[in-house]
Structure 1
Amino acid sequence: MVGRADDGGAGDMTEGAAETDEAAAEARLAELALLIAEADRAYHQADAPVMADADYDALKRENAALEARFPHLKREDSPSEQVGAAPAEGFAKVSHSQRMMSLANAFDETDVTDFVAGIRRYLGLSDDAALAFTAEPKIDGLSLSLRYEGGRLVTAATRGDGAVGENVTANARTIADIPQEIPGAPDVLEVRGEVYMSHADFEALNRRQAEAGGKTFANPRNAAAGSLRQLDAEITRSRPLRFFAYGWGEVSEALADGQMAALDRLGTYGFAINPETRRCASVGEMLARYAEIEQARATLGYDIDGVVYKVDDLALQARLGFRSTTPRWAIAHKFPAELAWTRLLSIDIQVGRTGALSPVARLQPVTVGGVVVSNATLHNEDYIAGRDARGNPIRGGKDIRVGDWVQVYRAGDVIPKVADVDLTQRPGGAEPYVFPTSCPECGSDAVREEGDSVRRCTGGLICPAQAVEKLKHFVSRAAFDIDGLGARQVEAFHADGWVKEPADIFELKEKYGSGLQQLKNREGWGEKSAQNLFDAIDERRRIPLGRVIFALGIRHVGEVAAADLARHFGSWDAFISTVDRAALEPAAKAADAKARKATLAESPAWSEITAIDGIGDAVALALTTTLEQPAERASIDRLIDHLEIEPPPARATEGSPVAGKTVVFTGTLEKMTRAEAKARAEGLGAKVSGSVSAKTDLLVAGPGAGSKAKKAEELGIETIDEDAWLALIGDG
């Protein structure tokens, strides 16, 4: 992978080399966050993936490896904290009563062995203690949650971003595999599973579509997703969709004691349960089942991309609990990628919202794993040149040139990457690719900062590509979310000069709404839709601070970082005045991380920002740099004049007895492992520290507590035992 950290030789690194390495890691984490977020939106919202599954998995693994090596550089919008993408426009939203999680991935036998060993450590189980798992095919389809109340189907919702999905109830009722009523079911039952399309049904659908002159689909997953998300349920009814149940969300009573038994019970309710699911008593049996399913993959009649392992004992699942986005008790063992060779016809440069110049390979169309692909990612200029972000050779140092015979790599159903080059078939006269140093959209200089693997346009607001992408971000679901003003409308309004910056949105009615004439006479608009848009814009004049900060599209500032900043400052005035003061301080002017850290003692405002839990130098520098650009700041100030900004809502954990407190655990815990205790405390809003200091609020001391207990006594810090801790948090 591009920019993949090399752990070898770390002990021999000089201080300067370590800092350079850290700067490169910080830049790469920022790039990964952007790439993965864009891939999530394309896959989950638009059913139009832009990245191969294996490419996506590799980016997530690279991100995790960098975060493990540099934990202090973990971003608040880290891909490891995200699930899916926000619901698409066109459907009502449904809040899941229990979050729909994603799965961590395993790519080889070592990953699976480590997964099982990690569970044993977490639960305090010996190597010879019984620990069973289920193994089932990982269906390549669209996740769906079905809610039954009193045995009747009341809601069907897609995964969305894990917390909020799309209401597709009418469409789900047309799928024969989904029961409408379940006699004898618990009063509340949420069944979760995967909507898919068989290979035979997919081929027949594409034949019918082609004969009727309609759209054909690239693969069964896209066909299934597109069919389920039709605004007209009758179209969904005409599509041959199927459903496998694999789990559950909220239930008013337990289905069984084990995963396998619970699936069997769902089968008695009329749900299709994958017949390839087995119970495995050891790692060896799990891996053997993986090999059997992989060998049978081509004969199953539907697409799968791996095998999912789950702890069978539901009581152990409950103890293991969840990370921020994935369960600890399950993992997806992915299949290897697919490869093909073709000709590279050209290299195009696309400009993103943050000005990043992204190279895209245009390929002679080639079929890879049954899908025709004609585009591929080339990552960045280093990747094209045959080196990683640290200058080390990749692909044996072979560069990529227009006209080359290239190997493309994919796993799943989407655009691949160029993985290798066959130099024996390189045409004579093929020239090394010269990456542009000016923006292809606006002509501004495209610069590459030290430690950054991406070249970026400096045009800012004058760059049409950035302006349009920033406006799309501004109206996105997690930002201003203005009904009737989506990406398509933003593009049209920008092209006609109606909306050049966010403030223009709030002046639309004043400028173009007189008598509704100008807007209602535009193609696709009428008097009612125009008035609805103006009303929706007016509703967003009052908006929470966190949404405003996120909507500005500042590099490194994702939803989580924006929310943290909003909670800390409480108001726009407090936020912007602190950023203004920080921009004048030495840390903001320092050229690199080392220099900034050296000046922090002299920088009160900078220190205030970076002291916020989860906010570091990268975010502080992005805030000060962006908000002090004259044109950018003037644009933001014009926007703020139109808004009434609300303070952030109270944390959901504010009723918790330990919310906001710093807790330290020491000694031996007898009723739960240290990992369980830490996860439980953090889930209640506490910060868990490994050392006692004046900032510690509570010490939980078990038998064998030593120096930490003594230090807590010296500092007058409250100390309780494990039983008192469990009583305090309501687990006693």
Structure 2
Amino acid sequence: MSPEEQILALRNELREHNYNYYVNDNPTISDFEFDKKLEQLKQLEAANPEFFDPNSPSVRVGGEITKNFETVKHEYRMYSLDNSYSKEDLLDWEQRLRKIVDGPIEYVCELKYDGASISLRYEKGVFVKAVTRGDGTQGDNVTANVRTIKSVPLKLRASEVPDKFEIRGEIVLPWQGFHKMNQEREAQGLELYRNPRNTASGSLKLQDSSIVAQRPLECLLYQLAGDNLPVQSQYDSLNLARDWGFKAPAESQLVQSIDEVLQYIEHWDVARKDLPYETDGVVIKVNSLQQQEELGFTAKAPRWAMAYKFAAEQVSTRLNEITYQVGRTGAITPVANLEPVEISGTTVKRASLHNADQIEKLDIRVGDEVYVEKGGEIIPKIVAVELTKRPDNSSPTEYATRCPECDTELVRKEGEAQHFCPNELGCPPQIKGRIEHFISRKAMDIDGIGAETVGQLVDAGLISNYADLYDLTVEQVLPLERMAQKSAENMINGIQASKQIPFERVLFALGIRYVGETVAKKLAKHYKSMDALIALPEAPDKENLDLFADVSSPTEKKLEELTAIPEIGDRIAQTVVEFIVDERQQAILERLKNAGLQFSLSEEQLEGQTDKLVGKSFVVSGVFEMSRNDLKKLIEDNGGKVSSSLSSKTDFLIRGDKMGPSKLAKAEKLGITMISEQEFLEML
């Protein structure tokens, strides 16, 4: 046998042993025998470097150093999941599904493993890239570190696979490996790791991949992403992933009803304690990929999936003090400062009290013994007070009346849950918070500057609003603490590069209250430029005013104009108008415009956009020649609105193959016009 043949045979044999050990949990040779074969492969590869293969089992040991993790845009967005906490939540979800899709609905139940979300990319059956979830639209390239994880196949076990696809999952640290790592740290006198999830997540961002290779991380996969995948259902995709060599957990189950979903949840709420991994719930997915496509997505999550969270752990501790935090929009959040207590492997010192109503409802007072819960929230919350242990000298909590940062009197508008500090351009946390939001990934995505640097710039008097960023020079920022020449240049270059960020993200970056990503896109699409958005209708000519003329003020007309846009309500319209009539904000906008930011949609974005379908609502159902997403984009590009379910407000149902009979019956009952894909295209 030639050296090349020996190398190829050993690689294939070792891949199979890796698969049996790390994916099937069924080793077929001893560790000693495996190590001998691996050493033999290394020696052959060293003697024959012309046969180097980056996907050889010998490269798992790591050694690559990554100082800066490249930001990579996801080709297929990684959505978050909506959460449910009760049987009623799941039944409500099922009812929403049945309003959109016809026929029986199968579900796949999967355990929700608590790790670090990852997307693995394969081309021609070979692993090429690993990207963290990040903000869902882009994440960090951690390929070198993930390559060291033994349950990630570097080369798939099947010959017939799509040319390219992605598979999503969780990088987890099993309990056994976690405890072993902590035993080693304890022996060395080092601080112990708090929990497996944070340790797994932190491992992905280590600069030296050889250290990652020493950690017993595993990768559990659960979702294929790509075009023209050879599967019709989620359950089939899990089985296919296993055939290809991925570790797709065997605990997943195909069920026929919500009742069976609830049985699965009830079983695993108890049985999960025997699992080798940390898990905090169950993910329920509609099985049919065609039904998934029909259900689509909200701005943040798929409609076809729901995460059920197991009941959170509760502990009791003493409430020492209530302080108040000021958010970037001026919202005041009361925070309970607690006697430190352990919950789910982390030390909790603070918990959110949400607002004045919550404090009053629970009658929470300083000195109380309180029950704290950490369930799906970054900041734990207080859920109850142990009244039997309340001190005799206890007095009711009086909510703050003035801003803790700038001493401005707080306001609370009718219908609002929170108090606000109205000093938005003069209150330090609001100033810093707005700038931090402006530079964030989903907004202006400015490299070379983070929250700590923003604080330094504001405290040094170099900036007081986000327009000031565009006047900064390298010479001005160099004196800042821990700021070197290269860092200063990177910051200024990052600020200049942000001038190419598209208009809808600039609009989101402004931090107008209630104007999130989705609303910013709707406003950008409707007005097409900042000038059109901020322009107020002309006031009526009082001298020639007709008796029956519209005497609405320019701001009232602007409010009417905004609320006429689909899904822009009174509350959003009010905050937009308040922003655009504020002379201080107008001056900032003018400076941003002069700095060269994108204040209108690009020619490329405007291309193909018309008003042909303005005021028309469409529902898309069935299977079409073009992709459903392309069909929906055509509707929106031409001014129409896409709805997920039929109602009396629906103008057209675009009917494809395999559309369900109940949807057809409902459309006929409501008198909705039904058109084919071709008839729709002819409308344009």
Which range, TM-score by smaller chain? 0.7 to 0.9
1:426: how far off?
0.8
DSSP 3-state at the match of 2:171: strand
Question: Of the candidates 361, 386, 399, which is equivalent to residue 363 of structure 2?
Answer: 399
Unaligned runs of 5+ in 1: 1-88, 387-397, 586-596, 713-718
Deviations 1:165-214 (A, max 9, x none): 32221221121111111142332232211111112222333444566576
Deviations 1:382-421 (A, max 9, x none): 21122xxxxxxxxxxx411110011112225853211111
Q: Distance in 1 between matches of 2:666 and 2:406?
A: 66
Q: Cα gap change, 1:489/1:144 in structure 2, threshold over 3 Å: closer, same or farther? A: same
Q: Cα gap change, 1:98/1:451 in structure 2, threshold over 3 Å: closer, same or farther? A: same
Asked which structure has the greater RCO (Cα within 8 Å, sep 6+), the reply is 1
Does 2:535 match 1:559?
A: no
Unaligned runs of 5+ in 2: 1-66, 542-549, 656-662
Correspondence for 1:175:
149
Deviations 1:314-340 (A, max 9, x none): 454455544444334433232122211
1:307: how far off?
1.8
DSSP 3-state at the match of 1:489: helix
Q: Distance in 2 between matches of 1:522 and 1:678?
A: 48
Contact 1:542 1:646 in 2 (8 A): no
- Structural mapping, 1:27-46, within 5 Å: none
1:636: how far off?
4.1
2:75 maps to a residue whose letter is S
Instruction: Answer with 486-495 or 524-533: which moved more.
Output: 524-533
Q: Distance in 2 between matches of 1:295 and 1:384?
A: 34
Q: Distance in 2 between matches of 1:197 and 1:413?
A: 21
Contact 1:358 1:380 in 2 (8 A): yes
Contact 1:664 1:699 in 2 (8 A): no
Q: Distance in 2 between matches of 1:94 and 1:678?
A: 23
Q: Distance in 2 between matches of 1:659 and 1:236?
A: 56
Correspondence for 1:604:
557
Q: Distance in 2 between matches of 1:612 and 1:247?
A: 36
Give the RMSD, CA atoms, in angstroms.
4.0
Question: Of the candidates 365, 380, 393, which is equivalent to residue 429 of structure 1?
Answer: 393
TM-score with structure 1 setting the length: 0.72
- Structural mapping, 1:265-276, within 5 Å: 265-276=240-251
1:152 maps to a residue whose letter is V
Q: Distance in 2 between matches of 1:210 and 1:633?
A: 58
Does 2:175 match 1:199?
A: yes
Does 2:72 match 1:108?
A: no
DSSP 3-state at the match of 1:285: helix
DSSP 3-state at the match of 2:522: helix
- Structural mapping, 1:564-713, within 5 Å: 564-578=522-536, 603-649=556-602, 660-663=613-616, 681=632, 684-685=635-636, 686-687=640-641
- Structural mapping, 1:247-646, within 5 Å: 247-250=223-226, 253-254=229-230, 256-386=231-361, 398-411=362-375, 414-509=378-473, 513=474, 516=475, 519-541=477-499, 543-578=501-536, 603-646=556-599
Contact 1:656 1:684 in 2 (8 A): no
TM-score with structure 2 setting the length: 0.76
1:546 maps to a residue whose letter is E
Contact 2:618 2:641 in 1 (8 A): no
Contact 1:506 1:537 in 2 (8 A): yes
1:433: how far off?
1.7
Q: Distance in 2 between matches of 1:414 and 1:703?
A: 46
Q: Distance in 1 between matches of 2:260 and 2:224?
A: 25
1:146: how far off?
0.7
DSSP 3-state at the match of 1:298: helix
Q: Cα gap change, 1:506/1:175 in structure 2, threshold over 3 Å: closer, same or farther? A: same
Q: Distance in 1 between matches of 2:116 and 2:683?
A: 37
Correspondence for 1:149:
123
Deviations 1:534-580 (A, max 9, x none): 2332333455333333222221222222233233333333333338x
Q: Cα gap change, 1:501/1:232 in structure 2, threshold over 3 Å: closer, same or farther? A: farther
DSSP 3-state at the match of 1:224: helix
1:537 maps to a residue whose letter is I
- Structural mapping, 1:121-132, within 5 Å: 122-125=100-103, 132=106
1:497 maps to a residue whose letter is G
Instruction: Answer with 100-109 or 676-685: which moved more.
Output: 676-685
1:418 maps to a residue whose letter is I
DSSP 3-state at the match of 2:388: helix
1:204 maps to a residue whose letter is K
2:407 maps to a residue whose letter is G
DSSP 3-state at the match of 1:457: coil
Does 2:179 match 1:225?
A: no
Deviations 1:91-121 (A, max 9, x none): 4232333222333334333444454565556
Deviations 1:245-286 (A, max 9, x none): 1121015540x4443343223223222121222233444433
Contact 1:144 1:194 in 2 (8 A): yes
Identity percentage over the alignment? Answer: 37
Contact 1:157 1:166 in 2 (8 A): yes
Contact 2:635 2:641 in 1 (8 A): no
Question: Of the candidates 134, 146, 160, which is equivalent to residue 160 of structure 1?
Answer: 134
1:303: how far off?
1.4
Q: Distance in 2 between matches of 1:102 and 1:294?
A: 22
1:363 maps to a residue whose letter is L
DSSP 3-state at the match of 1:506: helix
Q: Distance in 2 between matches of 1:416 and 1:140?
A: 17
- Structural mapping, 1:56-71, within 5 Å: none
Q: Which entry has the higher C-alpha Rg, 1 or 2?
A: 2
1:149: how far off?
0.3
Q: Distance in 1 between matches of 2:349 and 2:384?
A: 16
Contact 2:135 2:442 in 1 (8 A): no
2:433 maps to a residue whose letter is E
Q: Distance in 1 between matches of 2:419 and 2:463?
A: 27
Deviations 1:277-306 (A, max 9, x none): 223344443332222211111111221122
Contact 1:357 1:454 in 2 (8 A): yes
Contact 1:662 1:697 in 2 (8 A): no
Contact 1:653 1:659 in 2 (8 A): no
Instruction: Answer with 243-252 or 598-607: which moved more.
Output: 598-607
Q: Distance in 2 between matches of 1:704 and 1:260?
A: 30
Correspondence for 1:94:
72
Question: Of the candidates 108, 117, 120, which is equivalent to residue 134 of structure 1?
Answer: 108
Q: Distance in 1 between matches of 2:245 and 2:268?
A: 24
Deviations 1:467-509 (A, max 9, x none): 1111111211233222212211111111222222223222221
